[in-house]
Chain A
Amino acid sequence: MNTQINNENIIDKQAPASSTSGDSPSFSTMPGSPLQTSFGTVPHATETGSHMAPSVCFSNLTKSFGRHRVLDGVSATIPTGQVVGLLGRNGTGKTTLLRMLYGLIAADHGSVSLLGTDATNASAAPELRQKVAFVSEECHLYPWMTGHETSRFLAPLYRNWDQQRFTTLADDLEVPLDRRISAMSKGARRKLMLALAMAPKPQVLLLDEPLAGLDAVVCEQILSTLIRSLADAGQTVLLSSHELALVERVADRILILAQGKFLIDATTDELRHSMRRVIVQLSEAVTTLPTHPLILAAKSRGAELELIVRDASDTNVRSLLTNLQVRTTRIEGLSLRDIFTATTASKEEER
């Protein structure tokens, strides 16, 4: 899958773009760019090495709030053990999707299957929740309870509750269990919620912005201590976050949600290896931005043309530049942040 770029002007193939965020490049939308089609046949985990039955499967999920359609027929299949990062700008429906998967809200259309069970069936929810955990962005625990009390409150409700595991996790995360939740810091509450969510040994963990508003240390604690350990234990994780760098570290697969659809659905490796920023110095100023299905976004600055290209193999890049008076070409690797910014911003502009 690695792209071979035989171009003398390639500067850094793998390195994340160092200054894209600082420059805040604005990409104009490429007409006809099939962003929503993602990476064709590549992304699904069943085809990326895992042959286990899917833990999470949803298809054609649609949800509207009033006239605003938040989700517009999204589908995905997540195999067991995969850690999936769900990305999207604010208000794109990440939380709605996770709540729908957990059965907290009902979809207008579509189906959801968790661990082979129809999750849209309300009667199956109590049994499913023994195996599926959901951690929301906000802390909804009873503020008058302490951490210990909360665990004692929840323990009888779960068949597989592992108090030892909870205590260990809470200790590792340095959660003050004997303190009332109302007196805990935001980070401590979030860590407690994660520890509580993992104590019953869920097979699927749905995390809604688990890292939002937390300092770097806490984020690191959560990621390194918990998420990986879950995935290693064969647990499936679907987490939404804006902490792209951290998500990139742990996620096997990335789903980028915009305008109710998945713009990107690909493994992290695929994203790293196939998406490129192509910077072309032309002999004269750019008058018309090139269009091509492989060009996700394009922008010009005088005689410099900057393209975000998917499937950026040597052949593909050359074919894209065939009709241009190219003086130099530089191909850069993209970080998840770059990809996210480029794709979602351009999609937003399109609106």
Chain B
Amino acid sequence: MITLLLKEMRELFWHFLLLVLFGLASMCFLAWFKALDSGALSILLFGFSCPIFIMIYSSQMVSGEVMRGTFPFLATLPLSRHRIWLIKAVSCLFFAIGLSLVYGLMIWSISPEMVVLRSYTQWIPQVTGLSLLLGLPVLLAAIGMFATMMPASTIVTFLIVAALFGSMLLIPYVNQALNYSIALPLFIAIFFTSSRQAFIKGELMDSWRPCFWGVGTLIIAGLLALGLWMCLDLAADHDFVPTGLRIHDLGTLGNSTLPILSGNAPSAWYDPIRDSYIIRTFMIDPQTGATRQIGPRGCAPVVVSPDNRYLAAYALRRRAGLVTGSNLLIIDLAKTGGSTPNSAESHSKSGFNDNGMVVIEEDDTNPIAFIDRDRLLYRRTAGLSPSLRFSEFCFAEVGSYMYKSQQAANGSRISELCIAEIGSGTRVLDSFESLATKMEYLPAAGWVLVSDCKTVVLVNPQTGERHHLPTAVAFNAWPIGQIASMSLIQCERHLTGSQTEIVSYGVTSDGALATLSWLAPGTVWIGDEPKPLALVKEIPAPGIIPSSRTLFNIVRLDPQTHASETLTAFLASEYIYVCPPVPGSRYLMLQCAGFVNFGGSQTGTLRFDPQTSQKDMLPSPVHSFISLRAIDRDRYLARGSDDEKSLVWILDATTGKYRQILESQKSFY
């Protein structure tokens, strides 16, 4: 066996020496024209010479012997075909890796930083360093070793390489999604396996027999690799390392109190989707802190049905482990073991698969809200062209997972509800002339609030009826809560220059719109029971309080009389966050980075009892700001971070004690 290897090495040596001389000549050539730099040399040697030489050499490993008439002698040696093939493959790899290393050394001698090689990272992010130096040459050698079993082997090699790399580069989602660390070895294995089989079964390699065996094995090995790829994809769906999670969002969704955590977890090494951090959504057991992943990876939590039964999420659409767009995923949490349905009402589950999921395969779908338990309102963005898109409001009926686009009153379809979304901002599709940037469902009123860069519109998802808010220019809108049977909206209105004004509106269930001039700008609705409570920002007179502090009043409002009663007041920094209480909550919880009036500036949670107007500070377990979400009347899910970690606690509002339930990597958000 060694003797054959030595013979191959002897044949290889002269070719190799010639190509090394070619590399040196290239350097001299570039130097002669004063163009010798790392970039030019990299392009010349790594971009062209090295791949081409490897392809030519490897494609001649066996076919060259057949052409020169020496193959029958090789075939009569007292060695198994496998060994002969192995020696050929080793020689080929030796040549490919050796040439890459020598050329790499030449480039390194010009520019030790290998700047140009690094730039490949931007082009094919995972093909860097070792992959570039070894992975690609080995892949090319494997393709050559496969093609060398066939007639016109060099042409076949070039065609395969062109098809393979062309498809990777021309089909964007392939290149974007492919995990090259997994794909390269798989491709290499497929081509080497097919090459070996073609050689072993190829007899004297002078017929179509090796082609038949090679291509047949390639197809079978390709299918097996695809199966493996899909298995890895499924395995990666269920892989979760809590310590590696970077928490992105935390809390309860919509009207529900289901504790949900979403975060970006580092991809497993075997994850075929190339994404170093991919979003995952988990349910948290408030007692134990145990997390349970909902749906596959890439699933972002959006809305939960009012009874916590169904969760609608934006999820990656994957085919064979490749990111190809997005799906709307509706998950039956009861079936996935997430929670116990609050209602004993039975449901048709015809649309759910065995995993308790409904997948609506539409590109760019975003759940907005569950109109009721069985109907999900979502937005579908349809693309007329890459630069011209429009949105549709759709219903997904959970039981049957049928969707229907909303019909306008006059029977015309979509147009009344379509919102043109113009990528370039130059073409208008319909009368809205708008780009839907934000959509909120106002559960109390049953209307959808749609805002864009020019206007704010209320759309009734049941009837298609719409009302323009009488604001000339509105950049943003915040549904701030409800008072009596009226949903309240705050809009930011541009005045002149940089001046803006916040205006408030009330929307009733019949769509009647009222301007609430008696609400001070910046009023935040913080509770409804027993009487409406609001947080009102008071603009103090200059010089009275430090400029970095703002005076906030918690007031009780009477919507009938417009009378207000100030319950308490405190100084805090400009930004204060109110944790929306759930019905029956005893306390209001407010978070701020800098509270005053409590013995200096503090970071923590302000607990306010509207019944007694008593307020006190609950010290934060960490120095940084924490965020709260109510999970029931007395308990809150809290998230914060220290210098290194993100932490999740359960805060008992009655005792004011934090209990840590989860620790993970600090979020980069």
A residues with CB within 8 A of B: 99, 102, 104-106, 122-123, 125-127, 129-130, 134, 136, 138, 140-143, 152-158
Contacts and interface: CB of A to CB of B under 8 A. Distances in A.
A152 to B, nearest CB: 8
B79 A157 contact: yes
B76 interface: yes
A126 B78 contact: yes
B7 interface: yes
A129 B69 contact: no
B185 interface: no
Contacts of A153: 3-4, 7
B200 A142 contact: no
B2 interface: yes
Which 6 residue pairs are nearest across A and B when measured between Cβ atoms?
A140-B73, A129-B78, A140-B72, A156-B3, A105-B203, A126-B78
Nearest to B78: A129
Interface string B63-88: 00000111111111111110100000
B204 interface: yes
B233 to A, nearest CB: 37
Contact of A141 (B73, B78, B203, B204): B73
A186 to B, nearest CB: 14
Contacts of B69: 138, 140
Contact of B2 (A127, A136, A156): A156
A122 B77 CA distance: 13
B73 A126 contact: no
A261 B265 CA distance: 72
Interface size class of B (residues with CB under 8 A): 20 to 34
A155 B78 CA distance: 11
Interface in B224-256: none
Given A140-B72, A153-B3, A153-B7, A104 B203 contact: yes
B16 to A, nearest CB: 16
Contacts, number: 60
Given A138-B69, A140-B69, A156-B2, A102 B78 contact: no
Contacts of A105: 203-204
A338 to B, nearest CB: 34
B204 A104 contact: yes
A122 B200 contact: yes
A156 B1 CA distance: 8
Contact of B70 (A106, A123, A129, A142): A142
23 contacts: A99-B204, A104-B72, A104-B75, A105-B204, A106-B203, A122-B200, A123-B80, A125-B80, A126-B78, A130-B78, A140-B73, A141-B70, A142-B7, A142-B73, A143-B70, A153-B3, A153-B4, A153-B7, A154-B3, A154-B77, A157-B3, A157-B4, A158-B78
A126 B83 CA distance: 10
Interface string B1-22: 0111001000000000000000
Contact of B71 (A126, A134, A140, A154): A140
A297 to B, nearest CB: 36
With most chain B CB atoms within 10 A of its CB, the pick from A125, A138, A141 is: A125
Given A105-B203, A105-B204, A122-B200, A138 B72 contact: yes
Given A136-B72, A140-B76, A158-B78, 18 more contacts: A99-B204, A105-B204, A106-B203, A126-B79, A126-B80, A127-B78, A134-B76, A136-B76, A138-B69, A140-B69, A140-B70, A142-B7, A143-B68, A153-B3, A153-B7, A154-B77, A157-B3, A157-B77
A142 B11 CA distance: 11
Nearest to B75: A104
Interface in B77-134: 77-81, 83
Contacts of B204: 99, 104-105
Contacts of B73: 140-142
Nearest to A142: B70
A220 B70 CA distance: 27
A130 B70 CA distance: 20
A66 to B, nearest CB: 10
A129 B76 contact: yes
A153 B70 CA distance: 14
Contacts of A130: 78
Contacts of A104: 72, 75-76, 203-204
A304 to B, nearest CB: 49
A122 B81 contact: yes
A140 B69 CA distance: 6
Nearest to B200: A122
B307 to A, nearest CB: 66
B287 to A, nearest CB: 62
Nearest to B68: A143
Contacts of B78: 125-127, 129-130, 157-158
With most chain B CB atoms within 10 A of its CB, the pick from A105, A127, A130, A140 is: A140
Contacts of A157: 3-4, 77-79
A142 B3 CA distance: 14
Contacts of B203: 104-106
A141 B79 CA distance: 16
A189 to B, nearest CB: 11
A144 to B, nearest CB: 8
A161 B69 CA distance: 25
Contacts of A141: 70, 73
B594 to A, nearest CB: 80
B84 to A, nearest CB: 10
B76 A102 contact: yes
A154 B80 CA distance: 15
A70 to B, nearest CB: 13
Contacts of B77: 129, 154, 157
With most chain A CB atoms within 10 A of its CB, the pick from B3, B73, B74, B79 is: B73
B80 A122 contact: yes
B544 to A, nearest CB: 97
With most chain A CB atoms within 10 A of its CB, the pick from B4, B75, B83 is: B75
Nearest to A132: B78
A67 to B, nearest CB: 14
With most chain A CB atoms within 10 A of its CB, the pick from B2, B7, B77, B200 is: B77
A249 B69 CA distance: 32
A219 to B, nearest CB: 23
Nearest to B7: A153
With most chain A CB atoms within 10 A of its CB, the pick from B75, B76, B80 is: B76
Nearest to A106: B203
A141 B70 CA distance: 6
With most chain B CB atoms within 10 A of its CB, the pick from A99, A126, A130, A143 is: A126
Nearest to B14: A144
A20 to B, nearest CB: 37
A273 to B, nearest CB: 38
Nearest to B73: A140
B88 to A, nearest CB: 14
A156 to B, nearest CB: 5
A134 B72 CA distance: 10
Contacts of A106: 203
A209 to B, nearest CB: 13
A108 to B, nearest CB: 12
